[in-house]
Structure 1
Amino acid sequence: MEIKRGIAVSPGVAIGPALVLDSEWFRIPQRVIPPSQIDHECQRLRQALAQAAAETRANQEAVSAKLGPQYGAIFAAHALMLTDPTLVQEIEALVRTNHFAVEYAVSRVIRRYAKALESIEGGYLADRVADLFDIEKRILRHLLGQRREQLRDLREPVIVLAHDLTPSETAALDPQRVHAFATEAGGRASHTAIVAGVLNIPAVVGLGPFITDVSGGDRVIVDGHHGLLIIDPDEETLHRYEQVQASFRSQASQLAELRSLPAQTRDGVRVLLLGNIEFPQESGPCLEHGAEGVGLYRTEFLYLGRQTHPTEAEHLEAYLTVLRTMGPQRPVVIRTLDLGADKFLPGGSGRRAAPEHNPFLGLRSVRLCLQNLTLFKTQMRAILRASAFGDVRIMFPMISTLLELRQCKMILAEVKEDLEEEGLAFNPRLPVGTMIEVPSAAILAEQLAREVDFFSIGTNDLIQYTLAADRNNETVSTLYSPGDPAVLRLIEHVVRAAAQHNIAVNVCGEMSGDPLYTMLLLGMGIRQLSVTPHSIPAIKRVIRSVTVEESVAVAQEAMRLETARDVNNYLRERTRRILPEVFS
């Protein structure tokens, strides 16, 4: 038996035979052509690009019909890349100057792009490498006349194992045949991971090298809760996971029954359970899973995969789509742009900013917006205009100083004046909040609380910045833990500051959607949680199974412990009594 640890991106447990996908075929050797073939090679390139673009657009339509237009939009970005004149020029330059065969030129150019993206540590673009490989495969398939049909021809249930899966390959998976997948590469924010979550296929990525250790047909287990791939499990492990799987299935129907019930403790304390969304169409699944609103509406999708910035009208329509679903009474918290300078085209110039050595500590989020006021004001105008149609709230991410927050509020006030002069409707008392995701903001919580209507603790970044540990870097992943005492003390300080100034405090991020930490957060005084839609039933079950008094006792004991391991072990033992199928 061999156990590999990676990144859990889609929950669930699957047991079955492995289907190992071999992707070696697309590693193209260098080949030189005679000058007489250059024009022919360039013609082949343009034909292959046209075919790949047409195929991608067809794939976009199919995925949109199957999963929704927000996921089809992934492939709209692919089609845009395939028609990018810069890409064509660079490939043709290698053919004409170096006399390389077009297949090798394609592979070399795209892999150079991929290498550049992979070098951006912690950046959003590092997770877009799979998209580039998807494009490379499409072009080479048409140049070489090859197709990869294994996933479409399945007759029996399997667990797919691969170095990586492209977004289009993931979207093509049939959940009736592919019960799970695990890959050597990949990250939490990759499109492959996002699509896996929508399909409800258990998935683990970023496992590192393992393909050579597995043969087709070998029995494997994918644990999408804990990020594990177990190869050739022994009988004891197999039996334990079969019990977990059976328990998980039996509990699924019980969890579904909770969707219409309030998130209320046994002693009658209500908890506002909200959903995190990235695309407008995800607001429907939020309600279906029992969310009482949207606690985090990420707006980055509006800026990605395009050559120009989104217009005010495009912003407004995206926000109104969510408001139509949520209705006028449910809160919708819209987070302003949270991208780095490496992720969008400044001023729609067509050129990206130079890569930063450390984008996590660079020009991103409100720092970027404060240097691009036209972009910032456009989004603010749309958010304010949307506030005339529902319970909209605005939230500024990555605030690290009091001055930054005051600058954001000053610009918001200017935009309000502009809208008033133009006679456009908006809520003049639009609630304003700030993310607490930088240690300096947590330390300054008392001062920040005087300036805003609510806090939202972004645990993902708060943990990373506090512990100086990239959650996607497996070499330091053991340091990254929501249960670390330093993190808990910061959260405790923020909650106290919010209570002192009588403002609401929400927790978003993976910590809020993990049932392991629900009692702890309740005991620390949290009464709002914002989680991914599929996490809502399990979190609600924990809330409805405990009292505030019990939760306070759990939090007090956890705060006395000295290490993250001790905290997590203690919480696991307490939560196992409520969700045995997850914490067995």
Structure 2
Amino acid sequence: MAVSSTAARSILIRLQETMAARTHAQAKLNQVVEIIGEELDSEVCSIYLLREGMLELYATRGLNQAAVHVTRLGVGEGLTGTIAQNIETLNLDEAATHPEFQYRPETGEEKFHSFAGVPIVRRERAVGVLTVQHTEPRRYAEVEIVALQTVAMVLAELINNAGMVDAEALDEDSEARTGTEVVTGLKLVKGLAIGQAVFHQPRVTIEQTVAEDTEAERQRVYLAFDRMREQIDQMSNQAEFGVGGEHEQVLETYKMFAYDEGWARRINEAIDSGLTAEAAIERVQQRTRMRMREISDPLLQDRMHDLEDLANRLIRIVSGQLGTAAQKGLTKDTILVAKNLGPAELLEYDKRRLKGVVLEQGSLTAHVVIVARAMGVPVVGRIRNLRGLVRDGDTLLVDGDAGTVTMRPGHGVLDAFEARVTASKRREASYARLRDVEPFTRDGERIEVMMNAGLRDDVAMLQVTGADGIGLYRTEFQFLVSAQLPQRERQARLYRDVLDTAGRKTVIFRTVDIGGDKSLPYLRSDVAKEDENPAMGWRALRLALEREGLMKVQARALLEGAAGRDLNVMFPMVSEPWEFDAAKEVFTSQIAFLKQHKHPLPNAIRYGVMLEVPSLAETLDLLLPRLSFVSIGTNDLTQFLFAADRANPMLAERYDWLSPSILRFLRRVVQSCVGYKIDLGVCGEMGGRRLEALALLGIGIRRLSITPASVGRIKELVRKVDTREITEAMSGWLANPPEDLRAELQAWAEAREIEVE
């Protein structure tokens, strides 16, 4: 069958006339399945509605009438139940081959082979299922599925108005709880926050789904698009993070979707089928949600979330229901609750009142996380069924360090959490007082305490924390927040701005470490797609050397950005000396190019490597004469040494950084650098933990590069340590390892009144 937009509109008009007639509900649905069956030339058309928690066959054309109100399926049971549970579309040429297929003899459906079904969705919940079947095995055309989805959307409104589904199925607060409850999610941005729950987005109610004048609806959408684009442009101009920052690039990606012609075209096609402007936007949004469930790539999922964010904004504009929580204004300390959140929408909130964010979705690579981190707002994501768990106004405790959210805490729990917040602020204040104090040990050794950065705004933390410099600037962050490969001029501007902000303090730029868990949709490798373990695959320097153009552009951008200053360049994931030589040669060729064209160059260039791959330690002596510095990347090194993927929750915390095997390996690297003019340090989370930092000092590490939040606490630790004592203790433990080295080290520290927790 060929289903045109005219035919779809004809169905909608006939459905509306039927539901407006003065007949009882059953008669109306009996007519509805006949209309759909006739218009779509379908042998079977059936409607299942959610009643008392079960999907009940409510009307059918083509199946046995005796099965009506008799056949019932649980949500998740059979093909129909699977559609309702997953809120997904099924399109099968042979229904019996699907693993969830169940045969119900009372329906007489054994002669039908092909099957298609779409959920009937109301307020993002499945309240029923619309199915069609044919005897001949065939998959339904896309245009047929679109017609079914459009009809299902109108049916949702009609059956709701007729009171044909359980009221509790549509009650968004029906599952809300009243007692204290603690849920665990994904740690997105660290920090502690207390506030009252405010839902980011009040639900927009679509009053009418069938259009009377399609041209008028189209004009409403055009005007709404214009207004939405103006809002996005205003946000770009008013963003408080400075011109040219990563947040501006996030908004540029956001703007790309706002001007996407394909999105506007799909909404227009939905209007052509007979839907109002609001219903057309919601119709396209429903299809987007279904597609999101089929996408496994986290970066693509995040981009789809950006599109849904814009769809929510557009539907509010076109309906005149503009009251988001941000636009109404926050009046109290707030924990923002949302299914997901776009970066532009987060920027609309008053930072003085916004204390934390809890998301039903969200991921570490999402744009909103980058913005939240810059705002200093803790975020916990991946909390399922948020609308069922939380009511507007509930007190929430957000622990971004542990990834937990406590709902409706009792007085005792609230008092304890407030004490933690107060203690945390007190500790941070004491660390802040050490900003201008140099970290000398008790025996007079000067320890370099540097910080890691990746965003332009992170660099300002140099002055706040008093760090000695930036021991690791992750240049790939600029690539991760961009919709396309950043141009050389933009890269150079970023590097120049970072050096300007850092002033006389050292900045070590690590060349791009992409691939693995930091894949870019606009830069993919055929080899990387086949990686079974991406963390150990085609990533970092391996990928950059393969994509020579990528590295050439970054090399020239770094050289141009550092013109007239010192440039420190570090190559990630070097496995063998020849890889360092190949990477350095890219810089050498770009230096020659710039000299030839009389461009200014850096005053001096220092090259170094990240020691993350154990094999490099075996040939480090061959490379040391050509290096200025070595940074040990403990995060990756640990997983490679133990063959334990840190992204695997079963293994992430199984192996201890204070294992003798790790510490012996690190000490051997320290000893191999003796006699060379090499700056040796540790980059990574290990150096930011007080007990682990104590162990590193004991094996000879004198430079640490850690998160800005850890700088104060590590400077405070350093001032309490006598390196001669801890070196002697570590030498004994590593020569004859105790059963629990961590416990021994902790007891040693406590005996000297060194706080390590």
Q: Same fold, TM exceeding 0.5? A: yes
Q: Which residue, 587, 591, 614 being the options, matches 1:412?
A: 587
One-letter amino acid matched to 1:4: V
More deviation in 317-326 or 486-495?
486-495
SS of corresponding position for 1:398:
coil
Greater gyration radius: 2
> 1:119 Cα shift?
0.9
- Cα distance between partner residues in 2 of 1:159 and 1:569: 41
Alignment map for 1:237-248 (pairs within 5 Å): 237-248=413-424
2:574 pairs with one of 394, 399, 408: 399
Aligned residues: 568
Gaps of 5+ in 1: none
Question: Distance between the aligned counterparts of 1:505 and 1:27, measured in 2?
Answer: 61
- Partner residue, 2:463: 287
Alignment-derived partner of residue 257 in structure 2 = 81
CA contact (8 A) 2:681 2:704 kept: yes
Residue type of the partner of 2:465?
H
Structure 1 residue corresponding to 2:554, chosen from 379, 384, 404: 379
2:711 matched to 1:536?
yes
Take 2:444 and 2:239, find their aligned partners in 1: how far apart are those partners? 43
Worse overlay, 462-471 or 134-143: 462-471
Choose from 204, 207, 212 the match for 2:388. Answer: 212
Alpha-carbon distance change, 104 to 456 in structure 1, aligned in 2, over 3 angstroms:
same
- Deviation, 1:436, is 2.6
The counterpart of 1:119, out of the listed 290, 296, 301, is 296
Once the two structures are TM-superposed, the CA of residue 318 in structure 1 deviates from its matched residue by 1.9
Which structure has greater helix proportion?
A: 1
| Identity fraction in percent | 29
Shift of 1:393: 0.6
Rounded Cα–Cα distance in structure 2 between residues aligned with 1:47 and 1:420: 53
In 2, Cα distance between the equivalents of 1:254 and 1:386?
36
Task: Give the Cα–Cα distance (whole angstroms) in 2 for the partners of residues 366 and 28 of structure 1.
Answer: 52
- In structure 2, the residue matched to 1:356 is 529
| Bigger relative contact order, structure 1 or 2 (CA pairs below 8 A, ≥6 apart) | 1
- Taking a change above 3 Å as real, the CA distance of residues 479 and 270 of structure 1, as seen in their structure-2 partners, is same
Spell out the pairing of 1:287-326 with structure 2 (5 A cutoff): 287-303=463-479, 309-326=485-502
Change in Cα spacing, 1:93 to 1:450, as seen in structure 2 (3 Å) is farther
SS at match of 2:585: helix
Residue 634 of structure 2: which of 459, 482, 485 is its match? Answer: 459
Task: Assess if the C-alpha contact under 8 Å between 1:6 and 1:474 holds in 2.
Answer: no
What CA RMSD, in Å, does the superposition of the two structures yield over aligned residues?
4.1
Q: How far apart are the structure 1 equivalents of 2:379 and 2:226?
A: 33
Cα offsets for 1:442-465 (capped at 9, x unmatched):
565455545432222333434455
Deviation at residue 59 of structure 1 after TM alignment: 2.0
**Alpha-carbon distance in 2 for matches of 1:309, 1:62:** 25
Are the counterparts in 1 of residues 545 and 583 from structure 2 also a CA contact under 8 Å? yes
In the alignment, structure 2 segments of 5+ residues that lack a partner are 1-179
Question: Which position in structure 2 is the counterpart of 1:513?
Answer: 688
- Give the Cα–Cα distance (whole angstroms) in 1 for the partners of residues 668 and 205 of structure 2: 53
In 2, Cα distance between the equivalents of 1:352 and 1:81? 25
CA contact (8 A) 2:246 2:478 kept: no
Which residue of structure 2 lines up, in the alignment, with residue 183 of structure 1?
A: 359
What is the distance in 2 between the residues matched to 1:279 and 1:548?
34
User: Quick one: distance in 2 between partners of 1:545 and 1:126?
Assistant: 47
Query: How high is the TM-score relative to the length of structure 1?
Result: 0.81
For residue 5 of structure 1, the aligned residue among 177, 184, 192 is: 184
Distance 2:527 2:218 in 1: 30
Aligned to 2:596: 421
Alignment pair present for 1:157 and 2:336: no
Give per-residue Cα distances to partners, 1:95-128, cap 9 Å, x unaligned. Answer: 6689895224431454366446x512xx655655
What TM-score results when the alignment is normalised by the length of structure 2?
0.65
| Deviation, structure 1 residue 19 | 0.5
8 Å contact kept, 1:41–1:102: no
On the 8 A contact 2:566/2:603 being kept in 1, the answer is no
Deviates more, 1:318-327 or 1:164-173: 164-173
**Superposed CA offset, 1:466-512 (max 9, x none):** 55666566566544765566655554444344446552223223333
Letter of the 2:183 partner, please give it.
Answer: K
Name the residue aligned to 1:345: 522
Distance 1:169-1:474 versus aligned 2 partners, 3 A rule: farther
Aligned partner of 2:227 among 29, 33, 51: 51
- Aligned partner of 2:379 among 199, 203, 212: 203
One-letter amino acid of the structure 2 residue matched with residue 146 of structure 1 = Q
> Alpha-carbon deviation of 1:238?
4.2
CA distance in 2, matches of 1:409, 1:147: 55
C-alpha separation between the residues in 2 aligned to 1:92 and 1:261? Answer: 63
